[in-house]
Amino acid sequence: MSTLTAEQLGGRAAIPPGPGRAQLVDPRRVRLLSFLFMGLAHVTVLKDRVRGIAFMLVELVFLVTLPTTLGMVGGLITLGEPQPHLPIRERPNSLFMMIDGVMILAVFAIFAAFYVVSVKSAAKLADEINTRGFPDAHQKRFSAVADRAFPVIGLAPTFVMIAFFVVVPLLFSALVAFTNYAAPGNIPPANTIDWVGLDNFRRLFGGNQLWGSAVARVFTWTIVWAFLATGTTYIGGMLMAVVLKNSRLRITPLFRAIFILPYAIPGVVSLLVWRNMLNGAFGTVNRTLAALGITDAAIPWLTDPNLARFTMVMINLWVGFPYFMLLITGTMTSIPAETIEAAKVDGATDWQIFRRIQMPQIVFQTMPLVIMSFAHNINNFGAVFFLTGGGPNVGDSVTTSAGATDIMVSWIFNLTVNLQQYHMASVLAIMIFLIIAPFAIYNFRRTKSYREGEI
């Protein structure tokens, strides 16, 4: 059987028959050209000029702006030289240099991703040509390129926005931990910022006894607070949901509406009201207790360290249990009534029904939300700031600004707003990320869409 000509194939290149047919393009040459310049293989060898010109334009723009971008990267490396003889407005701003440098690194990463895509695209197109031959019509090729490029074009804006509005700020915040960006000596533009390596980490984790003890105390209370805040609201919500679900009172809906009120009121308002009510000097609670003759001395609800922590947990229980009550009520409603009736016919008590039937279903369906609630409570800034303000002060509070009820996130707020110790706050932010990230990843991996490969 003779080899078909190009005319007989309707414009396609001749393809020798059989498994040992010759290659129309050399894959090694395609890889070499695509490595030398983005899109070069598409234009010269693969005859895919539309896609090749697009890739080449990307690299040309990158090369034209390269001198400027390299200068910004240099600024990220040096963070500027001190020039006290210049007016403050004309001095190098290390903070802006760091931000610009991080953004340029993001641009480099995006360009590298484009380069990898161009090389893989060239290799894939070469394999298709060697298998099927060159496309026979320019219009079909243009349509195929448009179809393949549509998802990339559609996702590109989202990808770029994530890079510049999520990744860049996170990377910038992390880099601050390796500098001396703090008052009074290193606040731009009056003074420059310097790279100090791991000195801040050493200072917080053992190098300085005062800071080290503050980190251990605040970190321990953060974890204890997260467990207590999550556990009490979950158990309290479950208890109220079970009681209201099994109650035979006609006014049960009224009680349910009353219990939802703390959740319906903004948390900031509730916490500020409780803060005034628990004031040791003129708070309503102490005045009422004194009027009833229960106590003569004012109870330091928010000024004694241990009592303030207990008060935080209790007020958070009052504010947070309605959420889990509603959640668990919905879960219990989904349990078939026939199952409950069958258990009662078999002689099961209410406690046995709850323990053997309802509770396993509740825990199974709500545990991912409990995990995320735990992660949320680690960062529950409002519960601390609006109720206790992080106080009362303890021995190291003057130096570290860490109060008895401060958790990690509220301590970061104090370090940045009150002391302007941005480098220490950045180290603590990295700690919080390392704590919360495993919970978020675990919860994400348990989702059905992830397990089924839909994301």
Q: In 3-state terms, what secondary structure has residue 209?
A: helix
Rounded to an integer, what distance in angstroms lies between the CA atom of residue 246 and that of residue 340?
Answer: 11
Q: Which of 356, 364, 380, 352 is nearest to 233 (CA)?
A: 380
Q: Are the CB atoms for 190 and 91 separated by under 8 Å?
A: yes
For residue 338, what are the CA distances in angstroms to 162, 241, 247, 342, 397? 49, 20, 18, 6, 59
How is residue 120 written in tokens? 């893989």
* pLDDT at 157 (0 to 100): 82
Amino acid letter, residue 414: N
* Per-residue CA distances from 35 to 38, 70, 109 (Å): 7, 22, 17
**Mind spelling out the 3-state secondary structure of 119-181?**
HHHHHHHHHHHHHHCCCCCHHHHHHHHHHHHHHHHHHHHHHHHHHHHHHHHHHHHHHHCCECC
Mean pLDDT by runs of 10 across the 455 residues of the chain is 40 44 77 90 85 90 92 90 86 92 92 90 86 62 59 77 88 93 89 92 83 91 95 93 80 81 85 91 89 87 94 93 90 87 88 88 87 90 92 87 93 91 92 84 64 50
- Asked if the 199-446 domain carries CATH number 2.60.40.650, the reply is no
Tell me the backbone φ, ψ of residue 88, rounded to 5 degrees: -60, -40
Q: How far apart are CA 455 and CA 411, in angstroms?
A: 36
User: Can you give the pLDDT at residue 448?
Assistant: 57
* pLDDT confidence of residue 402: 92
* Per-residue model confidence (pLDDT) at position 143: 58
Return residue ranges of the chain for CATH 1.10.3720.10.
Answer: 199-446
Q: Residues 384, 410: contact at Cβ < 8 Å?
A: yes
Separation CA 437–CA 101 (nearest Å): 26
